[in-house]
Amino acid sequence: MELKDILSKCDHTLLAQTATWDEIKAICDDGMKYGCASVCIPASYVKQAAEYVAGELPICTVIGFPNGYDTTAAKCFMATDAVENGAEEVDMVINLGWVKDQKWDDLLAEIKAVKAACKGKLLKVIIECCFLTDEEKIKMCEIVTASGAEYIKTSTGFAGGGATREDVALMAAHMTNGKKIKAAGGIASLQDAEDFLKLGADRLGTSRIVKAVKELEAKGEL
């Protein structure tokens, strides 16, 4: 797989609690230089970052992150606020307690509400696979497929477990209607990235792929 093809699927990510504007700016510079799909950054930096990249790179942010138990109204406000500040893509976390309580209708209604609040921008739905059984993951594939959201996403990267090859393969078998998969959390190498893409992921949430490419450049191997 061509390096540029891998990079074009990466949401180059910085969601550390202590992220500074200089660090966000560097992520944006890298995203533009390496042709990433987007940069995924905290909501408080979206407006500044959108102005900085001036249309050269989509800005993605996260809402209800990382725990997912904000109210639906709060998530909708965050989604609209992000979009109005310049976000092209929104990654939301579902209410995981509702999954355990089998509140499937509530989960579907919330995702639909957040999708509407995104005002036509792209929505990815984080289901935090490390907390779910395979049966729950399959049910969430069905709900996301029915919801109007464009993507299902494996993980926040903040819950102790990230994307696994098994989870992406399971999602690929159960996502229909052209809905896509984002693998995130723990994608550490170019081999990881290629594996996840071959298994059916269309996006990768990672900070380390651009870093790996930079290391290859520094060694003169590119």
User: Using CA atoms, how far apart are residues 205 and 212, in angstroms rounded to an integer?
Assistant: 14
Q: Is 91 a catalytic residue?
A: yes
Using an 8 Å Cβ cutoff, are 63 and 79 in contact? Answer: yes
Number of H helices, E strands in the chain: 10, 8
- Ranges of beta strands (E only) in 94-206 are 122-126, 151-153, 180-184, 203-206
Q: What are the backbone dihedrals phi and psi of residue 206, each rounded to the nearest 5 degrees, phi first?
A: -160, 150
Q: Is 121 a catalytic residue?
A: no
Q: Is 101 a catalytic residue?
A: no
User: Using CA atoms, how far apart are residues 157 and 138, in angstroms rounded to an integer?
Assistant: 20
From the list 137, 139, 180, 182, the catalytic residue is: 182
Q: Which residues have a Cβ under 8 Å from the Cβ of 185 and sit 6 or more positions away?
A: 154, 155, 156, 157, 159, 161, 162, 163, 205
From the list 11, 30, 91, 192, the catalytic residue is: 91
Q: Which residue has the tokens 């939301």?
A: 92
How many whole angstroms from its chain centre is CA 183?
7
Q: What are the backbone dihedrals phi and psi of residue 124, each rounded to the nearest 5 degrees, phi first?
A: -115, 140
From the list 153, 167, 179, 180, the catalytic residue is: 153
Structure tokens at 110: 């919330």
Half-sphere exposure of 199 (CA within 13 A, CB side): 22
Which residues form the catalytic set? Answer: 91, 153, 182
